Homo-oligomer: A and B are copies of this chain.
């Protein structure tokens, strides 16, 4: 059975070299490939199908909450980017500049959008005049570009796909509610669809988005104990609106400035799916997001009736889930390995013996458990097992997250944890950026968020020992 194990042999073990394991999965599961442009990836059909499933469900949730999709220009004139001071300082160093159209030099350079607050505000200025025009709840699906130095597929690429919501509201309160609503939509989606538990919280001023008053985040825990910021939602107050001259006449006939939010989730989340769920045999996809939920593998296909039975089962399975059958001339062992590498949640094996006994074998990808199932029960058993996989993948990820949260009460303890126990370190913080910088210097960790839940009792700052009432999750992050 050399063939059977060949695919598997080619993956580096998670515990030997996590970074290499990650890259191996991206390539071997055919999620993405490198391109001729530094830092830009090719999202291959299997990876893109995962992204489409993410898009469909998120888009449904956005529309259900009243959001509309639009498409804004890819290019932003330098003068527009310059309008909000903090924003341009944050993004100008990492944008790609267009300087020529055909053979002509442009009068003003244009950058490829790194994010679109500026163009949305520029448009909102033209279409918002009255309280009747509010709220404006727009979203767009597009690619953005940030000229990163070191890149890794999905996790950090010069170009990536995402959605960016940009909304305008009559009051600060409404905008703040929107900001939190969208964070909750992301977190619910991560839990229910991606089987990924997250810590929700607020970013410190040091870590917040360039130009935002508040940035909310959800942080997920990867298998190697590093955090991954998986989605963010920003509250801008009226800063951008003022910079761009967006105003409206309110019900009381006074001219006011609207309040703004923005929020986004990107293809980065596919990196999280890989690093939360994958194992040494490859990717493991939660059923809710898997392009193929069930793969049928016929055994001894040359024997009479096997091919026909597999086709019949494919037809039945297709009416209850996203099913495929592998009728290629590869060996069953090879096909099993491919199913595992691609993280297909459930595999159905059917051979002459099974047919004789009117049953088949179902094999779970996550636990490798086998079930012998009567063919007459397929319609009830497949959905039941898929739901079971989804739930137990979440439970396993939750357990893995929980057992990687450590409390620390001194800087030394934090440093020791950071050096020996990868994970989240919960500790009190006084609120000073100096302490944040000091901990980055001494322990190599950053503040991930001020969590909404799970606060420590008041005490002393883990760094400066002054009075502190802010609980922070610290950690190393992607």
Which residues of A are in contact with B by a Cβ distance under 8 Å?
33, 35-37, 40-45, 48-49, 51-52, 68-77, 80, 92-103, 109-110, 112, 119, 122-123, 126-127, 138, 142-143, 145, 147, 158-159, 161
Structural contact, B93 and A143, CB atoms closer than 8 A: no
Structural contact, A73 and B123, CB atoms closer than 8 A: no
Give every chain B residue within 8 A of A119 (Cβ-Cβ). 35-36, 42
Chain B nearest CB, measured from A166 CB (Å): 12
Supplied contacts A74-B159, A98-B99, 5 more A-B pairs, CB within 8 Å: A37-B75, A42-B70, A44-B70, A75-B96, A75-B159
Pairs A–B under 8 Å by Cβ, sample size 5: A37-B76, A49-B69, A51-B71, A74-B159, A98-B112
Structural contact, A37 and B77, CB atoms closer than 8 A: yes
Structural contact, A74 and B143, CB atoms closer than 8 A: yes
Give every chain B residue within 8 A of A110 (Cβ-Cβ). 37, 96
Give every chain B residue within 8 A of A35 (Cβ-Cβ). 72-73, 119, 122-123
Neighbour of A71 across the interface among B43, B97, B99, CB < 8 A: B43
In the complex, A101 Cα to B93 Cα: how many Å?
A: 8
Structural contact, B98 and A96, CB atoms closer than 8 A: yes
Structural contact, B42 and A147, CB atoms closer than 8 A: no
Q: Which residue of B lies closest to A142 (CB)?
A: B143
Structural contact, B126 and A75, CB atoms closer than 8 A: no
Structural contact, B36 and A112, CB atoms closer than 8 A: no
Give every chain B residue within 8 A of A41 (Cβ-Cβ). 73
Neighbour of A40 across the interface among B36, B73, B93, B112, CB < 8 A: B73
Give every chain B residue within 8 A of A76 (Cβ-Cβ). 37
Structural contact, A49 and B68, CB atoms closer than 8 A: yes
Structural contact, A33 and B96, CB atoms closer than 8 A: no
Structural contact, B75 and A40, CB atoms closer than 8 A: yes
Q: Which among A52, A97, A109, A147 has the highest number of chain B CB atoms within 10 Å?
A: A97
Neighbour of A93 across the interface among B69, B96, B103, CB < 8 A: B103
Q: Which residue of B lies closest to A52 (CB)?
A: B69
Give every chain B residue within 8 A of A42 (Cβ-Cβ). 70-73, 119, 123
Q: Which among A37, A76, A109, A147 has the highest number of chain B CB atoms within 10 Å?
A: A37
A102 touching B95 in the complex, CB below 8 Å, given contacts A43-B71, A71-B48, A73-B42: yes
A100 touching B97 in the complex, CB below 8 Å, given contacts A122-B35, A123-B42: yes
In the complex, A49 Cα to B140 Cα: how many Å?
A: 12
In the complex, A234 Cα to B35 Cα: how many Å?
A: 24
Chain B nearest CB, measured from A326 CB (Å): 13
Structural contact, B71 and A122, CB atoms closer than 8 A: no
Give every chain B residue within 8 A of A143 (Cβ-Cβ). 71, 74, 142
Give every chain B residue within 8 A of A158 (Cβ-Cβ). 101
Q: Which residue of B lies closest to A147 (CB)?
A: B101
Give every chain B residue within 8 A of A80 (Cβ-Cβ). 36
Structural contact, B99 and A100, CB atoms closer than 8 A: yes
Chain B nearest CB, measured from A42 CB (Å): 6
Give every chain B residue within 8 A of A100 (Cβ-Cβ). 96-97, 99, 109
Give every chain B residue within 8 A of A36 (Cβ-Cβ). 73, 77, 80, 119, 122
Structural contact, B93 and A102, CB atoms closer than 8 A: yes
